[in-house]
């Protein structure tokens, strides 16, 4: 973003920011699917307690749906920071 703005190509900066956000959202959608379908197995990496695995697995399933949206927001926030708009990003991401 900063490089494109420095080269006086704001349209390219905007396009690249949105393209990166879309790629991140697609990638994290795949990760979210893994979180959803393998939630109990993933929880098993952290504990052997079946009750904790069950509870954590349910949390992973809930988190799975937020992954593409979080990725999109994080990438666009980074693009805005790269453009020099740090105050707005700070307020939005609080």
Ordered DSSP codes for 39-77: HHHHHHTT---HHHHHHHHHHHHHHHHHHHHHHHHHHHH
The structure's pTM equals 0.80
Distance (Å, whole) CA 66 – CA 78: 18
pLDDT in tens, the chain (94 residues): 778 888 888 899 889 999 999 999 999 999 999 999 999 999 999 999 999 999 999 999 999 999 999 999 999 998 988 888 888 888 877 8
């Amino acid at each position: 973003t900063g490089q494109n703005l420095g080269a006086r190509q704001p349209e390219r900066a905007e396009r690249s920011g949105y393209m990166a956000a879309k790629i991140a959202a697609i990638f994290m959608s795949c990760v979210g699917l893994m979180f959803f379908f393998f939630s109990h197995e993933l929880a098993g990496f952290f504990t052997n307690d079946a009750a904790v695995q069950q509870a954590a697995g349910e949390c992973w399933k809930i988190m799975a749906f937020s992954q593409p949206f979080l990725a999109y927001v994080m990438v666009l926030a980074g693009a805005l920071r790269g453009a020099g708009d740090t105050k707005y990003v700070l307020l939005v991401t609080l």
